[in-house]
Amino acid sequence: MQLKISNLSKTYSNGVKALNNISLTISTGMFGLLGPNGAGKSSLMRTIATLQEADEGAIFLSDLDVLKEKDAVRRILGYLPQEFGVYPKMSALDMLDHLAVMKGITSRGERREIIEGLLQQTNLYDVRKKKLGTYSGGMKQRFGIAQALIGDPKLIIVDEPTAGLDPTERNRFLNLLGSIGENVIVILSTHIVADVHEVCTRMAVIHKGEVLVEGAPQSAIDEINGKIWKQVIGKADLEAYQGAFHVVSSHLVAGKIEVRVFSESQPDANFSPVEADLEDVYFLKLNHSANGAGQ
């Protein structure tokens, strides 16, 4: 199964071009859609989830025309939107039962079996009778995955699911995503590079509605490996370094600044080589795009 997005564009009525000729091919497995806030991730996710129209382009899921055959898509879609509201007074058990009925699972026995399985998988079985309003952020997101998995979807879309989770909850959530079967397409939209690094085998970086890079995270890293150098400098020197070198990123470390620089060879004797990582890829592509260089 493959999701093929071709030349998709969308301009909102306020003139914002949220999607600008996006083309992507997404196969089964975990696909990371990485980009800063405002990049167009939610617009793309909502369009794939049949919740909004595109101006131009096409989306096909195997033979299914996603932009036209919306009901058929919805039957095989699991969606966890960015703003996921729950009925605070309902228990997870009752809410899942209700949603399963809405998804057309009419047999009570079948529903019970499915829901118990999902509650186990998302580690919410022990709190299944508690009101959703009492759930922590991480529990709510895991519940969000449980509801998205009802009906055995073939295409699962999760939009910025780890934003606002503490590190333990985030880990737990990513492990859960990783446990979803390999024969479905899972699209994880996020602005957090580590999310993609930890769970995705394929990814795309989007910015200002355009695809900047697409492929396996490791291949993108391999392309720049050997060309990233670091040095710890004083805060006052940062501006000069930004003028003199191709600075990829700068981080505070114990009150000093660690700069990472892109260069084919050692920029000067004070720089030491470092392993490139996905964050280097991400910042390089974003900087390149911000400097008007396009792809």
Q: Which residues bind ligand ADP (CB under 6 A)?
A: 12, 14, 16, 18, 35, 37-43
Q: 102 or 290: whose CB is closer to ligand ADP?
A: 290
The minimum distance between CB 35 and ligand ADP, in angstroms, equals: 5
Q: 38 or 137: whose CB is closer to ligand ADP?
A: 38
Q: 48 or 100: whose CB is closer to ligand ADP?
A: 48
SS3 at position 128: coil
The minimum distance between CB 192 and ligand ADP, in angstroms, equals: 12
Q: 37 or 168: whose CB is closer to ligand ADP?
A: 37
Contacts of residue 114, defined as CB under 8 A and 6 or more positions apart, other chains included, come to: 100, 105, 150
Distance CA 68, CA 234 (A): 57
Q: 15 or 234: whose CB is closer to ligand ADP?
A: 15
Per-state percent for the chain, helix, strand, coil, to nearest 5: 35, 30, 35
The minimum distance between CB 187 and ligand ADP, in angstroms, equals: 12
The minimum distance between CB 189 and ligand ADP, in angstroms, equals: 7
Which H or E element spans position 222? Answer: helix 217-224
The minimum distance between CB 19 and ligand ADP, in angstroms, equals: 8
